[in-house]
Structure 1
Amino acid sequence: METLQPVRETSPVNPPLSAALQARIGREFTPRWRDTWGGRFVLHGRPPGPNAVRLDGNDYLNVTGHPTIVAAQVEAVTRSTEFVVQSGVFLLQQHPTRALEMALADWVGKEDGFVCQSGYAANVGLLQSIADASTPVYLDTLAHTSLWEGAHAARAPAHAFRHNDPDHLDRMLEKKGAGIVVVDSVYSTTGALCPLKNMVEVAEKHGSMILVDESHSLGTHGPEGAGLCAELGLTDRVHFITASLAKAVAGRAGFFSAPASMRYYILSSSYPNIFSSCLLPPEVAGLQATVAVLRAADAERSRLREVTRRLRDAFTGLGYPIHQGTEQIISLEAGTEPETMKLRDALEERGVFGAIFCAPATSRNRAMVRLTLNASLADAELDHVVDVAREIAPLVRPWDWPIARRARAVAAGAQAS
């Protein structure tokens, strides 16, 4: 009998990359890796220790590990023995996913909705279905990348209007015609609040539809956490609401609303819905339970607002230029990537952990350390963050950051006029 020889452990061997790809990497990435980042990945700092203050996640109301949610997930794991993994378009009305979709639609005040594998997939899939090559899409310059990719997937002409500037949007619509206006309710890199009422009025004036991405306001804003549209009484004037369910909902999924009359059109035209598998039973059960928990989380929303005010006031008082936002996301925009890495390292050395955002998540040379706040932060942790910000201010000199210099120039210009 032939004896089988053990397989020798060797490194995998790949065929050579094309010359074009190698040239692209050498042109677009290698100088950034070698010269700008100093041979280490810009997003990876040191691992947080047990006493670290973590300001790098999006679980704004601290629902991860909530016993009601965990119990629902465990029950789904143990009881869902006949579950079939398949595309979500095959799921029937009786499937638990439909109950989740209707619960989410009811939460935001809409007629029907769709659950996707991510907020990215939700934005791409919705825009692919509601826009085409003859539909202008008008996007705030800071709109999430998934919204820009949705316009690209629809092959729609995409037009940027100045951030939070309804007057500029008005002029663009006047010039280029009706289409779809796309905004975030709370902008993910800066914590800026959209002037949503003005944006809706401009869209209505020009006969345009409007899509509002509520990823960073669902759960945290509005009655029962229903979002900014609900808080401002605009739900019935907004055509589509989308959201990542990986922020306050703390899951791994996305959602968008649509009229019930569009249901089967969406299921026939939205590629992320058609060509992605459905969520797993514990995910669906956990998200369903989370919606109920968040709707009742008024105390946590109040605490988050208190934490936000306290830290924003402290950072501003220490000379950090965070005027571009107001909500639970604080952007420390140091400018260049090396300066931002220096800021990140100074924070992490003292036990405060945020997340670097840089191109392509931001414009070039507008890199930042993003701090995301949550309702579970204790007073002692807030004090520590403020103490660290005070200690490192002379080292990182936030008053000399480009964003601070621009703000002073704008203020001086306004004073002179």
Structure 2
Amino acid sequence: MEVVEKNITTGTAGPARGTDPGLSQHLRGRIAREFRDRYENEWGKRFVTHGTTPGPNAVRLDGNDYLGITGHADIVNAQIAALRDQRDFVVQSGVFQLDSSPHARFEAALADFVGKDGALLCQSGYTANLGLIQVVADRETPVYVDSLAHMSLWEGVRAAGAVATAFRHNDPEHLARMVARGGPGLVIVDSVYSTTGALCPLTRMVEVAEQGGCMILVDESHSLGTHGPQGRGLCAELGLSHRVHFITASLAKAFAGRAGFFTMPHELRHYLMCHSFPSIFSSCLLPQEVAGLHATLGVVERSDAERAALVRNTRRLRTRLTELGYPIHQGSEQIISLEAGPEKDTLALRDELERRNVFGAVFCAPATSRNRSMVRLTLNAGLTDAELSHVEAVAEEIAPIVKPWEWQIARRQRTKPD
């Protein structure tokens, strides 16, 4: 029988509160060991990613809509039309979607866009990486992963039961030595790294994989839409699409949606659909989501002006921040990492920025290594000259307060041998 109590505010009856069973002592011990000191002392009892609420004059550099396409009329109209015409839609796993469905047609369009045989649409970039790697690797497959690869890629290796061998970030020669020692397997890299904005030396990575008899997977989450002809990605820009085995991407970045996908050759499709757990055991995207994303693909293809604006904004802000002494040398693309290091210092940096109406996103463990936390600024094509000037002025004003030239990453750069 349900326990009922009277709400002391409204006087109405409702379910009793505070009746959840307590946590186990073991779990309470883990929380105390792994989290309490961090939360209470380093974070000051504020959750690390929760700063102040942006006001109407805030410059928002905390989202991933790189081309500024949210709310585009073509996308919204496609979503509305799908909502009005989905009476026969059945919510079910994606593996039940027929080849004639809008879902399958969008998959074919994505595959054609990036220059591959086929694609599989997933609920997110995370499940795309998990579902693909779970199938293409196993306990007998050596897997070589860039040390800064996205967490979803590492989780995919774990789901496959494979052993991940990390190689130094963006170091193809170190990868070559690892492959020579471990043998043919799967190489995993990001095209643009999500925390630093570093560009992968992809041509050389592909060469190393080929020489070692390896397959290679490239996560293009932060280059799809922003790089290459018509936004087709870094693989297309470098003419490598036909030499890369698998391309994965989140569609929550330049596509500003909620989905992900991966490519695969036709010979793998049906095998994969029988063995990829996220594809089998999760529901497919809703019709309005698929329709909106398909319309977004057309918008992205036509967004050369926005891609050029994004490049200009990136070069401008990177140049000025470097002049002001901010150590952002580890990246080159539209993601800018202000790596203050310890979480206390990063939160202090975040607060100084937000007091002056500049909003980035705090990244810390497990998204980064401990004591390498950062405020990540993500640029977009729609930033105005006035907004960029404001960010530059704020960066100059707070530099004597946060002292970026004293950050650990700046000291490491000064002591690095030429």
The TM tier, using the shorter chain, reads over 0.9
Q: What amino acid is the match of 1:308?
A: T
Change (3 A) 1:49 1:136: same
1:281 paired with 2:290, answer: no
Aligned residue runs from structure 1 range 331-350, under 5 A: 331-350=337-356
- In structure 1, distance between residues paired with 2:69 and 2:41: 41
Q: Could you tell me how far 1:13 is from its partner in structure 2?
A: 1.2
Change (3 A) 1:89 1:388: same
Aligned residue runs from structure 1 range 44-123, under 5 A: 44-123=50-129
Q: Could you tell me how far 1:8 is from its partner in structure 2?
A: 4.0
Change (3 A) 1:157 1:8: closer
Q: Deviations over 1:154-193 (max 9, x none)?
A: 0001100000000100000000111000000000000000
Pick which of 210-219 and 12-21 moved more.
12-21
- In structure 1, distance between residues paired with 2:320 and 2:139: 48
- In structure 2, distance between residues paired with 1:154 and 1:85: 28
Q: Could you tell me how far 1:261 is from its partner in structure 2?
A: 1.6
SS in 2 for 1:212: strand
- In structure 1, distance between residues paired with 2:408 and 2:218: 30
- In structure 2, distance between residues paired with 1:62 and 1:137: 36
Structure 2 residues without counterparts, runs of 5 or longer: 7-11
Aligned residue runs from structure 1 range 234-383, under 5 A: 234-383=240-389
- The residue aligned with 2:134 is 128
Paired residues, number = 409
- In structure 1, distance between residues paired with 2:181 and 2:149: 21
Aligned residue among 206, 212, 218 for 2:218: 212
- The residue aligned with 1:158 is 164
Q: Deviations over 1:235-277 (max 9, x none)?
A: 0000000000000000000010000121111110100000010
SS in 1 for 2:319: helix
Q: Could you tell me how far 1:392 is from its partner in structure 2?
A: 0.3
Calculate the TM-score normalised by the size of structure 2. Answer: 0.97
SS in 1 for 2:252: coil
Q: Could you tell me how far 1:403 is from its partner in structure 2?
A: 0.1
- In structure 2, distance between residues paired with 1:206 and 1:320: 39
- The residue aligned with 1:39 is 45
- In structure 1, distance between residues paired with 2:150 and 2:79: 30
SS in 1 for 2:13: coil
- In structure 2, distance between residues paired with 1:125 and 1:353: 33
- In structure 2, distance between residues paired with 1:298 and 1:204: 32
Structure 1 residues without counterparts, runs of 5 or longer: none
- The residue aligned with 1:230 is 236
Q: Deviations over 1:190-237 (max 9, x none)?
A: 000000000000000010000000000000000010000000000000
- In structure 2, distance between residues paired with 1:385 and 1:88: 43
Q: Could you tell me how far 1:70 is from its partner in structure 2?
A: 0.2
- The residue aligned with 2:9 is none
SS in 2 for 1:269: coil
- RMSD between superposed Cα atoms in Å: 1.0
1:192 paired with 2:205, answer: no
- The residue aligned with 1:407 is 413
Q: Could you tell me how far 1:345 is from its partner in structure 2?
A: 0.3
Q: Deviations over 1:311-356 (max 9, x none)?
A: 0000000000000000000000000000000000000000000000
- In structure 1, distance between residues paired with 2:142 and 2:221: 23
Change (3 A) 1:113 1:8: closer
- In structure 2, distance between residues paired with 1:261 and 1:336: 48
Q: What amino acid is the match of 2:174?
A: H
Q: Deviations over 1:375-402 (max 9, x none)?
A: 0000000000000000000000000000
- In structure 1, distance between residues paired with 2:268 and 2:183: 24
Q: What amino acid is the match of 2:153?
A: L
Q: What amino acid is the match of 2:317?
A: L
- In structure 1, distance between residues paired with 2:37 and 2:136: 40
- In structure 1, distance between residues paired with 2:360 and 2:87: 40
Q: Could you tell me how far 1:371 is from its partner in structure 2?
A: 0.2
- In structure 2, distance between residues paired with 1:9 and 1:21: 26
Q: Could you tell me how far 1:10 is from its partner in structure 2?
A: 3.4
SS in 2 for 1:113: strand
- In structure 2, distance between residues paired with 1:99 and 1:261: 19
- The residue aligned with 1:395 is 401
- In structure 2, distance between residues paired with 1:215 and 1:7: 49
Aligned residue among 18, 33, 57 for 1:27: 33
- In structure 2, distance between residues paired with 1:140 and 1:8: 53
